[in-house]
Structure 1
Amino acid sequence: MELVVSELGVARGGVRVLEGLSFWLSAGQALIVRGPNGSGKTTLLRVLAGLQPAVAGTVSMAPDCVAYAAHADGLKVQLSVAENLMFWARLHAVHDIGPALEAFDLIDLQDRRAGALSAGQKRRLGLARLLVTARPLWVLDEPTVSLDSLAVARFAAAVEAHLRSGGMAVIATHLDLGLSAGRVLDVAQFRATRPVDGSLDEAFL
């Protein structure tokens, strides 16, 4: 399986921010997306995840092959850690949450209500959901926010394991995660020079 992005153009609030962006990923590879604030990293990831349309170009991979993690942790705060993971596991026909609990050091917290977790613990739980989606492409927007150095290392190990199993990852981060199969894409070189057609406005997507 491959992710092929060809001559992609994306817009935010009706204004084109990136254009002419092309790259490809094969199984076992990761792409680290970098660029200054406001350069279009989040918008690019939303397009890859199928959450908003591109204004030009193509993305080869269907959204139902993508697991997306953004700034929000996406937790049900009234449920326990284990119940949150079981909800997502059932949604994706996965039967074992044990590896996800272990990978993000959540075994001792599995009975705690998600609303009672610290910011870092919530982030670890949000990321642990990736392991129960069984989806080949992880698209991650600043995933290490609120994580301490040990948790960052655990996250990097989880990504490495995903890549070794034939998965792929596109990650917007300024940290060096030390991924053996990762390369860097600076989106600043694809900054748009012309406005988007006014007929398309995804400001509220």
Structure 2
Amino acid sequence: MSISPTQNLLIKIVNKNIFKLILAIFIIELFSLISFKFAWLSAFFFILILILVLLFSLYKLEYGLYIALAELMIGSQGYLFYFDIGDFKASIRLGIFLVVFFVWFFKHFRRRKNIKSFLNLPEKGPLYSSFIIFLIFIGIGVINGFLHGNNPKDIFFDFNGYLYFGLFFAFLDVFINFRQIINFLKILFSALIYVALKIFATLYIFTHG
């Protein structure tokens, strides 16, 4: 009996690697829980993870984007780990974004040689134009926040929610084949399964505790 394209896709996505990813997510969250009450420990993991993200991204930017996606999908509002800077807590999500974005920026700019060719990515089209308009509205929102005298910290945290859209061009630049889409779906399914298991476990504990 022949396998349908949908079944073939599911076979490629749902394999033993998904369970490894789920286990990896669990271990990361366990370390996050352990370090939650110890700022120095959270800072240690924060720096360690960013170093690893930097090394992976420099080796292959695709890996850095996978890490960024995985962290985003897990949740925790980006604060799996944090780094205290005065009265400001820098989240691991912000750190990962900055590392991956700047690695992409410098790699891409180095290939493109000049600003004009740099701006030619991605190929201009409806998606590109729509995204530029979206960025303009975000910029207007930030300016409007300052003009109305809002606290810069509050403006930053509002703007922070849109930061990951800055990786839009990086994804268009790097994600160019079917294998990468499969890897993305593996990360998505792993995160969804893990979050679902965590919800059911939490529900069970609180209803039977």
Q: TM-score, normalised by structure 2?
A: 0.31
Relative contact order higher in (CA < 8 Å, ≥ 6 apart): 1
Q: TM-score, normalised by structure 1?
A: 0.31
- Structure whose alpha-carbon radius of gyration is higher: 2
More helix by share: 2
More strand by share: 1
